[in-house]
Amino acid sequence: MRLWHKDLIPYLPSHQLLGQWRECCLIAKNVAEKGTPNHVLVNKVMDFGDVEFNNYAYRVFQEMFDRGYRADPMRFFRHRKNGIVELWEDDDLFTGWHNDRYLAQCLANLQEKYDCGAVQEEDWKKITARWPEWR
């Protein structure tokens, strides 16, 4: 379980993007039912407000929509107390967590997936076009 770095959302391969939506929905459900996502890689989401997490999930949903995927937004929002109040700039999302170090960790994870054949060449080229130091 992980929330990919906010800057990666537009570049995520389809498999990771669709998985991210499932993760957001699962996190929302676990927080609603148990009060915590209860996973070391995403527990930090509890350090931020509902609106911030909602904005992140909305950005994932919007990217899916832009790519032609159809998902039910209620799968996420039925578990949330508050809907999206306002959309924030990406720079304001998960400040202190989604930083350069976390971006490098996520890129390394994607690179490993690429090296093992789980990320296609075309998808990796899109990522490395944006972050050429990962070629």
**Contact indicator for 37, 53 with CB cutoff of 8 Å:** no
**pLDDT per 10-residue tile (average), the chain, 135 residues:** 94 98 95 92 92 91 95 87 68 90 98 97 98 94
Per-residue pLDDT at 90: 67
**Contact indicator for 83, 54 with CB cutoff of 8 Å:** yes
**Contact indicator for 134, 111 with CB cutoff of 8 Å:** yes
**Contact indicator for 7, 103 with CB cutoff of 8 Å:** yes
Half-sphere exposure of 10 (CA within 13 A, CB side): 8
Q: Where are the domains of the chain?
A: 6-134
**Contact indicator for 45, 39 with CB cutoff of 8 Å:** no
